[in-house]
A and B are shown apart, each in its own frame.
Chain A
Amino acid sequence: MAVFLQNLINALQWGSFYALIALGYSMVYSILMLFNFAHGDIFMVGAYIGFGVSTALVALTAMGAFALPNWLILVLTILFSMFLTSFVGMIVERVGYRPLRDAPRASAAITGLMIGIILETGNLALLGAQRISFPPLIRTATYDLGGVYVTNKKIMIVVVSLGLALALHQFIRRTRWGMAIRAMAFDYVVVPLMGVPLNKMAALTFGLGSALAAAAGILFGVAYPVLDPYMGILIGWKAFVAAILGGRGSILGATLAGFLMGFIEIFVAMVFPSTLRDLIAYSIILLILVFRPHGFFGEPYSARLRL
């Protein structure tokens, strides 16, 4: 039982990253009917921006410019980095997607891949290939709950991810902007004719998705404090799988599917030899898609954003 609970906690943490990143894929898809394949790399950029912001804040505190407790530095890092990274997302949209909006589907799809490679190699040129160690902002406290070990970081990661997913859900359901996104997702040809600015909405979804990816990047840096320019590729692909599995364009679906993927990966490794983990985990996901080709919350022939 302790093993089960321990793995449950492991899976919650691991699934949080998939969920946060998958949300970005889903948001963009709901508006533009396109997947932003640079999203994994925006996650990487977010982690690096977080590294820069936190290092700067720590240095300023050390210099005596102001005295901030470390937890506040972490909160500020997350907020600043989300803000800055949302601009990266908007730039990606402006440079890579808007000029190609009427281009053939395939061209628009590969721009994401190209932008991803540009971000990776740009980072490589800028900071070099050395691994960067994310500053340990909060001390790890480990709690032993009857053989199940939980750290304060794990709790924080799960709570923050769920909180952000919920905030996004509320934003889309309760604000005018959210209503516009929903309308656009319903029909992105007619709705702009009604006066909803397509360009602004596209920038908004890219910005929101990127902000969430930045939050994921910083939480990732807290949990796995070794950053490298290629860290976003694999997790980006897997989160993309989660976005599809959740049902394209569905917020709830992407979040749930992200956690589900975390659970499948962790529990497959628990039951089977770990060598077979991805083989079995992704066979299960393939099987799910065979029986539910539109994902959990997707509907055939519609990209309607469901809540």
Chain B
Amino acid sequence: MCKRLLLVGMLALAATFLFPGVRGAAAVPTIRIGINAPLTGDIPKVGEGTKYAAQMWLEDINAAGGLDVGGKKFKVELIIEDNESKAESAVTVATKLITEDEVLAIIGPQASKQAVPAGEVANNYKTPMISPWSTNPDTTKDRPYVFRGCFLDPFQGPVAANFIKDEFGFKKAAVLYDVASDYPKGLAEFFKKAWEEINGPGSVVAFESFTTKDVDFSSQLTKIIQSGADVLFTPQYYNEVALIVQQAHQLGWDKPIVGSDSWGSAETVKLCGKDCYGLFFSTHYAAAGATGATKEFIDRYNAKYGYVPDDVGALTWDSMRILQQAIQDTGGLSGDVKKDRQAVRDALAKIKNFEGITGKMTFTEDGDPIKCAVIVRISDKGEFEFYKSVCP
């Protein structure tokens, strides 16, 4: 009897150390959510959007006095960590959030370069992770604990290819992409495949690459111009978009340049200027001309932070709300973080027809949502204008 008591006591003590989330059950129980964001490094604007959207969500929760799960109010704590836009750091951050901070779930990383390796960690530790923005298939593939808030590149590639075909009727395309980054590389290949299915083999007349941190693309662009391509597809991040578009124009390229959802940052037009006006890209949502809940979100964000949120902000917002719904759908948390993670994961997989501000979502087996893409035109005022919608 005495021994048993001791054992129970020791277990309780161990539990207190192991699961700080449960510590002090007398106080308000806390749910910890990890945010794995690129606050510094190559794409800091993406990290900023992630942080702001997540904090806006937390405000709502706090205003309601906490998160209501199965009739019990929980305090929510966000643990925002910087992954420096590096794959290694994203893995470190994910591991720290799971093992040290004992988070219930993780939102992020955003870019596929970080989301693919971080997803591996989350899946191994059986912790639900939602990447709002990563479109590379490998992020969620064979990983039951990893989800995403956006469509995939195998969908986006054909969207861009079909759009160019329908809009311009071109037959020859060129591609310029970063071979050292998962997202552009994956999307460039999906675009090539889709384009060659439509226009026949060899219709991608130039398939040129560079590596991250390169700033001079003159040699590749000269090759692309010589190849006789009608259109340039470049699925790059905003800092490179500015350089590629400007250099292309300086080398005499006056044909269309089409991009992908990585263009949809508030920084793109700021860095690129007039050179980017009139160009098209495929993305998750268009800020100009939004209605309903989407407009409400945009106005609130704009009033608070002083600029129109880009797709990352909107997708992070949706991902936070999907997670919120999943936590609430569990019907109650046990306090045992391992059990709760499993419950949240199961609830996430069951979500159907979620009304997000970036469209309606239903998760597939792989944890990928089925949703529509939007083609955006950069207007002559530098705004992202809705052009057309493409659904699967």
Chain B contributes a number of interface residues (CB within 8 A of A) equal to 34
Within 8 A of A (CB), among B18-71: 39-42, 44-45, 47
- Known contacts A133-B270, A142-B252, A226-B215; decide if A274 and B208 are in contact (CB<8 Å): yes
Within 8 A of A (CB), among B252-274: 252, 267, 270-271, 273
- Tell me the smallest distance from the CB of A29 to a CB of chain B, in Å: 25
- In the complex, A181 Cα to B267 Cα: how many Å? 46
Q: Is A124 an interface residue (CB 8 A)?
A: yes
Instruction: Identify which of A6-14, A81-89, A158-166 touches chain B.
Output: A6-14
Within 8 A of B (CB), among A221-278: 223-226, 228, 230-231, 233-234, 265-267, 269-270, 273-275, 277-278
| Residues of A contacting B39 in the complex (Cβ-Cβ under 8 angstroms) | 129
Within 8 A of B (CB), among A92-112: none
Q: Is A3 an interface residue (CB 8 A)?
A: yes
- Known contacts A131-B271, A133-B271, A275-B179; decide if A6 and B220 are in contact (CB<8 Å): no
Q: Of A131, A154, A224, A269, which contacts B267 at CB under 8 A?
A: A131
B274 and chain A: residue at smallest CB distance: A136
**Interface of chain B, helix or strand or loop or mixed?**
helix
**Interface of chain A, helix or strand or loop or mixed?**
helix
Q: Is B223 an interface residue (CB 8 A)?
A: yes
Whether B40 contacts A129 by the Cβ 8 Å rule is yes
- Tell me the smallest distance from the CB of A22 to a CB of chain B, in Å: 16
| Residues of B contacting A7 in the complex (Cβ-Cβ under 8 angstroms) | 218-219, 222
- Tell me the smallest distance from the CB of A50 to a CB of chain B, in Å: 16
- Known contacts A133-B270, A142-B252, A149-B250; decide if A6 and B222 are in contact (CB<8 Å): yes
| Residues of B contacting A277 in the complex (Cβ-Cβ under 8 angstroms) | 210, 219
Whether B239 contacts A131 by the Cβ 8 Å rule is yes
Q: Which 9 A-B pairs have the closest CB atoms?
A: A129-B44, A10-B218, A269-B219, A149-B252, A129-B40, A224-B215, A266-B219, A275-B209, A274-B208
Whether B243 contacts A142 by the Cβ 8 Å rule is no
Q: Is B251 an interface residue (CB 8 A)?
A: yes
| Residues of B contacting A144 in the complex (Cβ-Cβ under 8 angstroms) | 252
- Known contacts A3-B226, A136-B273; decide if A129 and B250 are in contact (CB<8 Å): no
Whether A142 contacts B250 by the Cβ 8 Å rule is yes
- Known contacts A131-B239, A224-B215, A274-B208; decide if A149 and B267 are in contact (CB<8 Å): no
- Tell me the smallest distance from the CB of B267 to a CB of chain A, in Å: 6
Whether B209 contacts A270 by the Cβ 8 Å rule is no
Query: What residues of chain B have their CB less than 8 Å away from a CB belonging to chain A?
Result: 39-42, 44-45, 47, 179, 208-211, 213, 215-216, 218-220, 222-223, 226, 238-239, 242-243, 246, 249-252, 267, 270-271, 273
- Tell me the smallest distance from the CB of A42 to a CB of chain B, in Å: 18
Q: Is A175 an interface residue (CB 8 A)?
A: no
Within 8 A of B (CB), among A136-182: 136, 140, 142, 144, 149, 151, 153-154
| Residues of B contacting A154 in the complex (Cβ-Cβ under 8 angstroms) | 250
- Known contacts A131-B267, A149-B252, A226-B243; decide if A270 and B44 are in contact (CB<8 Å): no
Whether B271 contacts A225 by the Cβ 8 Å rule is yes
Whether A274 contacts B216 by the Cβ 8 Å rule is no
Whether B271 contacts A10 by the Cβ 8 Å rule is no
- Known contacts A269-B223, A275-B209; decide if A224 and B216 are in contact (CB<8 Å): yes
B216 and chain A: residue at smallest CB distance: A14
- In the complex, A274 Cα to B239 Cα: how many Å? 20
| Residues of B contacting A225 in the complex (Cβ-Cβ under 8 angstroms) | 242, 246, 271
6 residue pairs of the A-B complex, CB under 8 angstroms, read: A3-B226, A10-B219, A130-B45, A151-B250, A153-B250, A275-B179
- In the complex, A266 Cα to B216 Cα: how many Å? 9
